[in-house]
């Protein structure tokens, strides 16, 4: 009997080793591991096929290259907690009494003093962690042939086809004229425009409109006219601070009640021309 048990143990061990060699993956709460070591926290993964992003949200995975994913099975860094479906992707960092030298360079800690702050070790002292992200700064103008851009009568119209001068954060789509806010905050916007010369009738006006998320007008700058039958170039400008949430879209638009038809903006392709450089836009994140 003893020899039989010993033989059986050997077979089981051999079988386990063979199984691990073939599958090369270990799962806890799942018979269908998707990584070298895969823990299904809620035990809700399918027995076959790939789990959904919702099912992955409670999982932990260790990859063959040594990365750890929490809420993701495809970590891109040594520790990746960027779950698609989990809104709680923060990492908790506690206090420590270790010196910066003992913790070594690259360590991080939470310091509750002075209202609380994050610090990192440079190997000698604990340094305050200060973030200085690159701010959005858009500078653009319209370079188009004469009479190429027309604004219809009493229709709020977005300005498209911009030429970018500056956009370090690439948040401005110069083709559509739509800016997407990279962070929640206040953005200082300056917009200038000029139409070709036409007769102006008393009471007519034009507006620069700032439109958020495609439909909400958050700012208007109105240029009205009181002189009757006067030849003039209808122009306007609008400088305003606009509150945007991260991901909000913003577009400058023009509304004209000056000419009952399509009214052309004053544009040209040649910098030396008298019609060049009148349509300008700047957006500066505060």
Cα 152 from Cα 131, distance rounded (Å):
45
Helices (H), ranges, the chain: 2-23, 53-56, 100-103
Pairing of strands 185-200, 230-244: antiparallel
Domains contained in the chain, CATH given: 2-80 (no CATH), 92-131 (no CATH), 137-285 (2.60.120.40)
Residue 195 near residue 235, CB atoms below 8 Å: yes
Residue 141 near residue 280, CB atoms below 8 Å: yes
At residue 194's C-alpha, the angle toward residues 190 and 195, to 5°, is 150
pLDDT digits (tens, 9 = 90+) for 219-238: 999 987 765 556 667 889 99
pTM listed for this prediction = 0.65
**pLDDT value at residue 201:** 64
Return the closest-CA partner of residue 281 out of 185, 183, 174, 182: 174
User: What sign does the CA torsion over 278, 279, 285, 286 have?
Assistant: positive
pLDDT digits (tens, 9 = 90+) for 186-205: 999 999 999 998 877 666 88
**Parts of the chain with a pLDDT under 50:** 1, 4-22
**pLDDT value at residue 117:** 93
**pLDDT value at residue 234:** 85
In the DSSP assignment, the letter for residue 153 is B
Q: What is the CA radius of gyration of the chain?
A: 31
Return the closest-CA partner of residue 80 out of 94, 96, 108, 59: 59
Pairing of strands 26-28, 37-40: parallel
Residue 283 near residue 187, CB atoms below 8 Å: yes
What are the backbone dihedrals phi and psi of residue 125, each rounded to the nearest 5 degrees, phi first? -135, 160
Residue 260 near residue 231, CB atoms below 8 Å: no
**pLDDT value at residue 164:** 97
Residue 233 near residue 266, CB atoms below 8 Å: yes
212: left (phi over 0), alpha (psi -120 to 50) or beta: beta
Q: Which residues pair with 150 in a beta bridge?
A: 264
């Amino acid at each position: 009997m003893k020899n039989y048990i010993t033989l059986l143990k050997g077979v089981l061990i051999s079988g386990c080793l063979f199984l691990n060699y073939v599958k090369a993956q270990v799962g806890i709460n799942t018979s269908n591991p998707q990584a070298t070591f895969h823990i299904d926290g809620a035990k809700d993964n399918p027995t076959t096929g790939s789990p959904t992003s919702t099912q992955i949200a409670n999982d932990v995975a260790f990859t063959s290259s040594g990365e750890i994913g929490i809420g993701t099975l495809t970590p891109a860094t040594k520790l990746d907690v960027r779950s698609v479906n989990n809104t709680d992707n923060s990492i908790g960092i506690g206090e420590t009494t270790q010196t910066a030298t003992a913790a070594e360079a690259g360590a991080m800690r939470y310091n509750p003093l002075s209202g609380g702050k994050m610090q990192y070790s440079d190997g000698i002292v604990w340094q305050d962690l200060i973030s200085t992200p690159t701010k959005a700064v858009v500078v653009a103008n319209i370079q188009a042939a004469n009479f190429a851009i027309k604004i219809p009568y009493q229709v709020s119209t977005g300005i498209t086809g911009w030429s970018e001068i500056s956009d370090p954060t690439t948040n401005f789509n110069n083709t559509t004229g739509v800016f997407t806010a990279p962070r929640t905050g206040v953005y200082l916007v300056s917009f200038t425009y000029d139409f070709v010369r036409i007769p102006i009738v008393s009471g007519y006006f034009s507006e620069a409109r700032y439109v958020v998320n495609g439909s909400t007008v958050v700012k208007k700058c109105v240029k009205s006219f009181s002189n009757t039958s006067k030849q003039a170039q209808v122009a306007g400008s609008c400088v305003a601070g606009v509150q945007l949430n991260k991901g909000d879209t913003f577009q400058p638009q023009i509304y004209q009640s000056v000419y009952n038809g399509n009214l052309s903006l004053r544009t040209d392709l040649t910098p030396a021309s008298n019609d060049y450089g009148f349509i300008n836009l700047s957006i500066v994140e505060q």
